[in-house]
Structure 1
Amino acid sequence: MLVAAASSMWELQDTITEAMVSGYHDAVSQRLLTSERERSAVVEALLEGRSMDADAVWSAAEALGVPRNGPFTVVAAEVPQIGRQALPEVAALLSRRGIRSSWRLRPDLQLGIVHLRTRRDLDDPVEVLRHHAEQRVGVSPSYDDLRSTGDALRFAKVAMRAGDAESASVTVFDDSPVAVAAAGAPDVMARVATNVLGPIEALPAGEREVLLDTLDAWFSCGGSAEEAAKRLYVHPNTVRMRLRRITERTGRSLADPLGITELSLALRAVRQTAKPPYSEPTGTVETTKKADSGAVRRHGPS
């Protein structure tokens, strides 16, 4: 009887222990869920630029787990599709580098408020973003007061739109003034791009892309035909010939600062707009290659 009673007591003890552990896990999960909801609501309020008094800012900083004073930066990332994160596990990835952040997923964007140790520490989070970005990402200028988060979000969105639409680019607002200027007024820049690069855009798709890629490489290489040729795997005279064709068609000289500025802004506006897929017309690329090879034969090596 004593053994039977002891067995029953141990079975009862096991049942009580399992119930306690299960209840504890449920309570912890509910607390974490509630905390995450509170953090999400605080992030959303800050991103929307709602007015806050000093006490509200203190409460927001405590909920986010960041100091009240910055510097901070806002990150805006395009999502691949509704409900899918553009930067999976980004908070954990930043945390490994000692960077605290809070994130909010919207239907079209994943948004984050990132705390920087100093203004010079922006390179660390940008490096993480560049390694894990799937779509365009924009990074705002740094700011010190959490109440300025709404303004920073606007800058982050402009920086995001400044990136190439066909690539997973990370654009820092303060580092890309030309691209940001082109993205600041999309409707205006679309008109500028049409006026400046309209004759190029009217060409067959293959020839158009060759000329625009060459112009883009030339700008990226500081106006050096030799460096652009290395990047494009062509002869420098081929680059010069293509640039000459761009000048002839647009009427903008790449030796004139004003012409360079107009072409640069127009090119950024074109790159920031996603293009629908196209089918290559027969002979278009071949015609371009023949013209390039003829340019090398006529001009010889430089």
Structure 2
Amino acid sequence: MGARRPRTGHDWKLLAESCTALLERLPQLVDEHLRQLTVHSPVYGQVLPHDQQWREAEEAMRIGIETLSAPRDSPRRDLEHAEDTGRRRARQGLPLDLLVHAYRSAGYLLWDALVDGTAGREPERLTALMRSTTMVWSAVDAQAQTASEAYRATEAELRRRTDEQLQALLDALLEGQATPGLAARAAAGLDLPEHGPYAVVVLRAERREPDERPVRGAGLRFIWRMRADGEVGVVALAPGQGLDGVARVLAGRCSGPGGISPVVPGLAELGRARRLAELALRTCPPDGTAVVRLDQRMPTALVVSQPELADRLVADVFGALLELEPADRAVLLGTLDGWLACEGSAGRAAARLYCHRNTVFNRLRRLEQLTSRSLARPRDLIEMTLALDAYRLSGVRR
């Protein structure tokens, strides 16, 4: 087969005449185009009213036909229209594959109409049309591609705006804003129940890896927000579910320190839950690695929530102890901490501290002498326990 004969100016003239004749049949072509689209998918008719869809299809097909016969250096009105259509269809919610199909379907319809309108005429006109095949389908491809790119860009922008709006709603809830309807809007946007069990997790920023944050687990759903000093997670629990599952999931995925709030009954209570989770976090020592629950750290939380009183408690209870050499003081306080962790068992504390049982007793007696308190008296024991917590957490307050 010889080389294809290039399209001439005469070919262009014949194509223009065919396109002019095609414009006279445009209303019937639009009707057929919309019929074919509805047969392909009923979604087309659900996106736009029929009259508006007909007007837009007529404009697009008319511009497409006129572009085929326009001079080579003419502005590409068809691509401008395709870009506008792509943006508009993204905002209207038409699936991208249906948008592309509409362009392909219109291209097939117009091409068949061109061929049919030429078939009964002189062979020269049909031959000229065949030499224009590549140009015609290149125009259809360019229109579909331009519309697709505009669609994707608009879709990404809409998604970004939606994400920002949802993040703003979530931030407002976590800040405890009492705006009417806020919880309902957030529930709809985040696909969460407005009323139901929730908890909040606060994680300090240091040593955090991006993939440490759980998203789901043990029937829980986590929604995270980055902050300058850490991360805040909203945890949606199943009805009747407590905090044990939350603690287990976090222990397996997150290095501390962190705090878990008590359960609250709905999205409107997230501000209070966030404050309680932050209070739980404050009960972690400066070098802590655990994610702790507030309901299991209540005495310590009382201490850290009143820093001025906590300082006075440390000074009153450990006054003489604080005058010791740091190493000596650390041994005595470490022994008290170990003895409390072992529930008052000197034997278990000795194993924990790698010393003899009598050594534990001797250190505790010395501690009692320095503090003028007895570990056998409940009130004195409470004071010494709270003072120890306040002393260990003093670095957090400073």
Give the TM-score normalised by structure 1.
0.78
Give the drift of 1:145. 2.5
Equivalence map 1:95-110=2 (5 Å): 95-110=216-231
Equivalent of 1:38 in 161, 165, 177: 165
Distance 1:96 1:261, change over 3 A: closer
Q: Is the 8 A contact 1:252 1:259 kept in 2?
A: yes
Q: Does 1:67 align with 2:188?
A: no
2:320 match: secondary structure: helix
Equivalent of 1:242 in 352, 359, 363: 363
1:222 match: secondary structure: coil
Q: Does 1:156 align with 2:277?
A: yes
| 1:105-134 alpha-carbon deviations (Å, 9 max, x no partner) | 222242222111134331122122223444
Matches of 1:16 and 1:89, distance apart in 2: 41
2:262 match: secondary structure: coil
Equivalence map 1:80-159=2 (5 Å): 80=206, 86=208, 88-89=210-211, 93-159=214-280
Give the drift of 1:198. 2.7
* Amino acid paired to 1:88: P
Give the number of equivalent residue pairs. Answer: 269
1:70 match: secondary structure: strand
Q: Does 1:254 align with 2:375?
A: yes
| 1:56-88 alpha-carbon deviations (Å, 9 max, x no partner) | 3211112222111120111122222xxxx9573
1:171 match: secondary structure: strand
Q: Decide which moves more: 14-23 or 228-237.
A: 14-23
Equivalence map 1:215-294=2 (5 Å): 215-274=336-395
Matches of 1:226 and 1:23, distance apart in 2: 74
Distance 1:202 1:274, change over 3 A: same
Matches of 2:5 and 2:244, distance apart in 1: 71
* Amino acid paired to 1:111: V
2:292 match: secondary structure: strand
Q: Is the 8 A contact 2:283 2:393 kept in 1?
A: yes
Matches of 1:271 and 1:2, distance apart in 2: 90
Q: Is the 8 A contact 2:212 2:254 kept in 1?
A: no
Identity %: 32
Q: Is the 8 A contact 1:133 1:168 kept in 2?
A: no
Matches of 1:15 and 1:249, distance apart in 2: 87
2:188 match: secondary structure: helix
Q: Which residue of 1 aligns with 2:81?
A: none
Matches of 1:153 and 1:87, distance apart in 2: 22
Distance 1:258 1:14, change over 3 A: same
Give the TM-score normalised by structure 2.
0.60
- 4+ runs deviating over 6 angstroms: 2-18
Equivalent of 2:293 in 172, 176, 201: 172
1:216 match: secondary structure: helix
* Amino acid paired to 2:192: V
| 1:155-208 alpha-carbon deviations (Å, 9 max, x no partner) | 111111112222122221112222112122122112211211232232222222
* Amino acid paired to 2:185: S
Matches of 2:383 and 2:349, distance apart in 1: 20
Q: Does 1:52 align with 2:173?
A: no
Q: Is the 8 A contact 1:159 1:183 kept in 2?
A: no
Q: Is the 8 A contact 2:219 2:237 kept in 1?
A: no
Matches of 1:121 and 1:2, distance apart in 2: 79
Matches of 2:138 and 2:335, distance apart in 1: 78
| 1:77-104 alpha-carbon deviations (Å, 9 max, x no partner) | 2222xxxx9573465x231444223222
